[in-house]
Amino acid sequence: MAFRTTAVARSALKKWAYNLSGFNKYGLLRDDCLYENEDVQEALRRLPEHVVDERNFRIVRAVQLSIQKTILPKEEWTKYEEDKLYLTPIVEQVIKERQEREQWEKNY
């Protein structure tokens, strides 16, 4: 019983923190906010073109809303349940490949 209560509380805390972060009010997803280092740029290169176009649209819209000092209507906010990590798994794969390549170059 205590485990279930803890899981429910943890889920509620995650949702509260997600809504407090603010990027969802601009229609952004979590992966839209990643710092674009070399690994992220390589992951973006591997994504299908339509996914990159959707990401760029969300970012441009968020910048425009920020300039106008406004946010989207509440029904257009990104919901916690709808926010899927579309870029993070690819970034993790790129990092693994880079580390493996560095290890290979170091040893051979």
Tell me 47's DSSP state.
S
Structural domains counted in the chain = 1
For the beta carbon of residue 29, count every other beta carbon within 10 angstroms: 19
Residue 31's domain comprises: 22-107
Q: Which has the closest alpha carbon to 92: 34, 39, 29?
A: 39
* Residue 8 counted as domain residue: no
* Residue 66 counted as domain residue: yes
Structure tokens at 53: 């176009």
* Residue 7 counted as domain residue: no
Q: Are 46 and 91 in contact (CB under 8 A)?
A: no
Q: What is the pLDDT along the chain (108 residues), one digit of tens a residue?
A: 555 678 888 889 999 999 999 999 999 999 999 999 999 999 999 999 999 999 999 999 999 999 999 999 999 999 999 999 999 999 999 999 999 999 999 988
* Residue 12 counted as domain residue: no
* Residue 17 counted as domain residue: no
Looking at residue 61, which CATH number applies to its domain? Answer: 1.10.1090.10
Q: Are 71 and 17 in contact (CB under 8 A)?
A: no
The predicted model scores a pTM of 0.85
